[in-house]
Amino acid sequence: SSKLRNMEVQGGDGAAVLEDSIGFSLTKAISKIEEKLKKRGLPDCQEDNIVPDIGNEMGAKTQIRFLKAKLRVTQEDLANVVFECRKKDDENQDLETRLKDTEEENTRLQRTISLQQSHTEKYKMLSQEANKKSERLQQEVIALEKVLQ
């Protein structure tokens, strides 16, 4: 995701060029592929036919224009995917922040619950002691009333 954050789409020679902070260039990558193809020749892949069958009847300049247009569309698609990835990354960071806040709130509430439970136990004990004392005092009052009669 950090790599995606550093990517920028820039225009150059009528085609978009995707570059990141470490100097990756789509143009350089294409040049390297073209050099390899020149050395080894074109591969025999019928499935990877970029130029449609009618391309055999096209002139070289037309094929180049076609391929540049296809490249431009692919780069736009890539830019859209990068944008969506950034958007999802931002959403993830937002959700992570919310999760962290929720976990902190949960911890705080757990401490509050624990404190409230200890207070409740304390007041229950005080109430029981007060009830016992009240019963003892009532028994004393009854005993004193008997003495006074």
- Which tokens go with 121? 């136990």
Considering the chain, what is the average pLDDT of its residues? 79
Strand partners, 111: none
> pLDDT tens for residues 113-136?
999 999 999 999 999 999 999 999
In this predicted structure, the answer to whether residue 32 has a pLDDT above a threshold of 80 is no
H or E segment and range at residue 52? none
Q: Predicted confidence band at 94 (pLDDT cuts at 50, 70, 90)?
A: very high
DSSP letter assigned to residue 21: T
pLDDT of residue 22: 43
For residues 44-63, average pLDDT: 63
Amino acid letter for position 5: R
In this structure, are residues 63 and 51 in contact, taking their beta carbons and an 8 Å threshold?
yes
